[in-house]
Amino acid sequence: MRVVVTGATGVLGQAVVAALLARGDEVVALTRDADRARQALGNRVDAHAWPNPTDAPPPEAALAGADAVVNLMGEQVAQRWTDEAKERIRRSRVDGTRQLVQGLLALAPDRRPATLVSQSATGYYGARGDEPLTEDAPAGKDFLAGVVVAWEREALAAASDLRVAMTRTGVVLSPDGGALAKMLPFFRLGIGGPVAGGRQYVPWVHLDDVVGVMLLCLDNAAATGPVNLTAPGPVTNTELSRTLGRVLGRPAVLPVPALALKLLYGDMALIVTTGQRLVPARLEQLGYQFRQPELEPALRDVLNRPS
């Protein structure tokens, strides 16, 4: 299979590329900087420059003749949400995916990839307390939910011509990036603890299962529409904090007030102080077997891996 990957140099992208290469697939990386991508991914990857992904479609040569596309591009969400940052977050996802789809649909049918696996996020659901959320739950109303709704709409614009699956990915457990990487320094010093009372659910997922589900969505013709990409056992922030402290052999009892996060991150604090209790119902229907379904073994596995 020949697979085009956007966002290939990120934490998720590098893991997906490695898995594709390991099973013998050809990989094309669509990236702003082709030389940097070759350095990060190795010479087995065919890197194509896409310098302006929010303003122009990707080069036809990168897409033509491929079997599938994995769309992982997007500005980092975990930053202070200034007006400028919000615009970058929105444009990188919404406009970038629109340009990608336009490039795909411009190809002749016999040269067009048959499958698009487009990254999405659990932020689709907004703050929902302890309500169990399957893929049929309605969208939230906050900024991030609005971005995700528009992001998915752009991906679905290809659904009349391609099979489209959208992976609503949760908090990815990886020491190399994301929420866990930001938490680790504090917990290793013994000054970590529950955030904003700790009752909010954290829809976590191990990096290996992100990769496993991406491959499933590439390979399984039944994988269409939204797919909750989270572990089957969501935990509260308190449970996550206690488990991480136990794995590290450190106390994890110092509470972090919501006000402190608000001062540090502004409106972005909302995604930390609230949460979603996701149910990966579609993955269950598709028969996916989680590689890391339990939190403590998943954390031990991530933290014991060489960086």
**pLDDT above 80 for 137:** yes
CATH of 2-172+205-230, one of 3.40.50.300, 3.10.20.740, 3.60.21.10, 3.40.50.720: 3.40.50.720
Above 90 in pLDDT, residue 48?
Answer: yes
Model pLDDT, residue 175: 80
What pLDDT does residue 225 have? 98
Q: Binning pLDDT at 50, 70 and 90, where does residue 247 land? A: very high
- Mean pLDDT on 102-118: 98
* Mean pLDDT value of segment 56-85: 94
User: What tens digit of pLDDT does each residue of 186-235 get?
Assistant: 888 888 888 878 899 999 999 999 999 999 999 999 999 999 999 999 99
Give percent of the chain above pLDDT 70: 97
Q: How many residues does the chain have?
A: 307
Quick one: pLDDT band at residue 104, thresholds 50, 70, 90? very high
Instruction: Identify which of 80, 229, 268, 71 has the alpha carbon closest to the alpha carbon of residue 151.
Output: 71
Predicted confidence band of residue 263 (pLDDT cuts 50, 70, 90): low
Find out whether 65 and 109 touch, Cβ atoms under 8 Å.
Answer: no
40 near 14, Cβ under 8 Å? Answer: yes
Confidence category of residue 98, pLDDT binned at 50, 70, 90: very high
Mean pLDDT score, 113-133? 96
The pLDDT of 33-38, averaged and rounded, is: 94
Taking CA atoms, 244 is separated from 50, 150, 205, in Å, by: 39, 34, 14
Q: pLDDT tens digit string along 266-304?
A: 777 777 778 899 999 999 999 999 999 999 999 999 998
Average pLDDT, the chain: 93
Residue 289 neighbours by CB distance under 10 Å: 9
pLDDT confidence of 255, banded at 50, 70, 90?
confident
- Show the tokens assigned to 280: 């990966």
What mean pLDDT do residues 77-96 have?
A: 92
* pTM for the model: 0.94
Kindly state the average pLDDT of the residues 94-100.
98
Q: How far apart are the first and last CA of the chain?
A: 29
Side-chain-side CA neighbours of 164 within 13 Å: the count stands at: 25
Task: Give the per-residue pLDDT at 261.
Answer: 65
Q: What is the mean pLDDT of residues 239-243?
A: 93
DSSP-based three-state secondary structure for 305:
coil
Whole-number pLDDT of residue 265: 66
List Cβ neighbours of 278 (8 Å cut-off, separation of 6 or more): 122, 125, 132, 133, 168, 170, 201, 203, 228, 230, 234
Report pLDDT for 142. Answer: 93
